[in-house]
Chain A
Amino acid sequence: MLLIPCPWCGLRDEVEFKYGGEAHNNRPLVPDVHDDTAWAAYLFMKKNPKGLHLERWVHAAGCRRWFNVARDTVSNRIDGSYKIGEKPPAIAAETEESA
């Protein structure tokens, strides 16, 4: 069971949350200029890393806000969380570059 830090509500139990997949995978703003390959890359090609993963969660049974979490997919260790639209914390970014 994970304790997930909601940016608003603080540490809460995993049962209050829903997982939302990889973060920073934004839908193209001008969809017409995308060909099938680019659409497939957006829709299906996920990073699926072994290690640090930036992912979306929603505090479904709490404040119902979406936010991002930096989680290690091997150890389940959570390095932190940040609001939608914010840049990932510096620690997370450095680890991702070195990985």
Chain B
Amino acid sequence: MPDRYRRQSPLAHLGLVARASEDQSAEAGVVMAECPFCAQTGLRGDGSLARFGNAVKTVLGIAPPTEPNTVTGPEDFADGARILWLGPDEWLIVGGDVDAEPSGALRLALSDRHAAVVDVSDGRAVIALSGPNARDVLAKGCPLDLHPRAFGPGRCAQTVLAKAHVILHQIDASPSYEIYVHRSFADYLWSWLEDAAGEFGVRISNSRSDRNGLLGGRVTP
């Protein structure tokens, strides 16, 4: 993890904070925001062992989900960590503030078990996509069945979006999504999303980050 004063979000160069404060059309079909600097921790271990789940639960208050492609934890990650299923022995823990990332405590709790805990906070950018047309935008570049009966709130999936590997997490039924994409693809994916959402009207927002009490898109030294 880089020093706090050197930290820069993957989309800082787009000036999203400034764009969000501009006067924008209120009738947007899609609202886009970056969620900068959220703590992400990779977790590996044998999920079929009760003591593995219990050890994680002791530290985080929630157990890793055993059902594929689901998420445990609060809707808003400012309210505490949540855990995304990535594989039968692999999870992604998404915490609130990057400085409070839980890998140290978790590593200690799992030290006598066959498990791995890795801080991957700066590896992925998180883009929040919401609004009545959010699903239509995703459907343009994603082979996943996004219909509510197949993919609803509390579901996550690793898939491709506009050919970029992403983790997709549906937060609520409005619908609103969070898209985790590798840092080097963040600029490309943001541009693609904004272009794809153009026909519905796009509003750039800071609300996602404001609600989480996180920093804005840029850290001033």
Cβ distance B17 to chain A, nearest Cβ, rounded Å: 32
In the assembly, what is the distance between CA of A63 and CA of B160, in Å? 12
Residue A21 CB within 8 A of the other chain: no
Residue A19 CB within 8 A of the other chain: no
Render A2-18 as a binary contact track against B, CB cut-off 8 A, 1 for contact.
Answer: 00000011111101100
Cβ distance A37 to chain B, nearest Cβ, rounded Å: 39
In the assembly, what is the distance between CA of A13 and CA of B158, in Å? 12
Render A60-73 as a binary contact track against B, CB cut-off 8 A, 1 for contact.
Answer: 01111100000000
Q: Is the CB of B158 within 8 A of A63?
A: yes
- Given A15-B143, A61-B165: A8 and B158 within 8 A (CB)? no
In the assembly, what is the distance between CA of A10 and CA of B158, in Å? 12
Q: Is the CB of A63 within 8 A of B143?
A: no
Task: Kindly report which residue of chain A lies nearest to residue B158, judged by CB atoms.
Answer: A62
Q: How many residues of A contact B (CB 8 A)?
A: 13
86-124 of chain B: CB within 8 A of chain A: 86-88, 90
Q: Is the CB of A16 within 8 A of B160?
A: yes
144-189 of chain B: CB within 8 A of chain A: 144-145, 157-160, 165
Q: Is the CB of A12 within 8 A of B143?
A: yes
Seed contacts A11-B145, A63-B87, A63-B158; 12 additional CB < 8 Å A-B pairs:
A8-B69, A9-B68, A9-B69, A12-B159, A13-B143, A16-B143, A16-B159, A16-B160, A61-B160, A63-B68, A64-B87, A65-B88
Interfacial chain A residues near B86, Cβ < 8 Å? 63
